[in-house]
Structure 1
């Protein structure tokens, strides 16, 4: 099973493509369905750890951004750079990761 949508990586561009998506037309009954339709690369270990810590925070009842940031810091999960989380750095990281 593929871990990400290889065709999606081709569309990751700051400007729209002027080409018509040659060889990307889906023929009914011949479509390869991917489990990860919107993922353009396999998640890194950091991204997988991030998800685990977010799940733990939400499972403990966190619903507000400041509480989420506090929970990540209390759990000992740091930014990829090793710094503690702030509300601003969390927001920027979500934008960077595309969520």
Structure 2
């Protein structure tokens, strides 16, 4: 017998693909920053810059680059 799954309880219902390793590392760094109380954008960006996760271009995180990436990943 198949188990019915409520679609609105699936945390990944809007995924069109599996996240990349880099995206998973970024998610972990963001979760760690939030867990350490960094809830405002400047503090979050500073925490990401202190982490081992670099932007795709290898530079430093900026508020603008972080927001642009979140817009891109949110599509």
The TM-score range, normalised by the shorter chain, is 0.7 to 0.9
Decide which structure has greater helix share.
2
Greater length-normalized contact order (CA 8 Å, ≥ 6 residues apart): 1
Whichever of the two has the greater Rg, that structure is 1
- Root-mean-square deviation (Å): 1.9
Structure 1 length normalisation: TM-score?
Answer: 0.63
Structure 2 length normalisation: TM-score?
Answer: 0.81
Q: Which residue of 1 aligns with 2:67?
A: 91
For structure 2, which runs of at least 5 residues remain unmatched after alignment?
none
Q: Which runs of 4+ in 1 moved over 3 A?
A: 31-35
How many aligned residue pairs are there?
A: 69
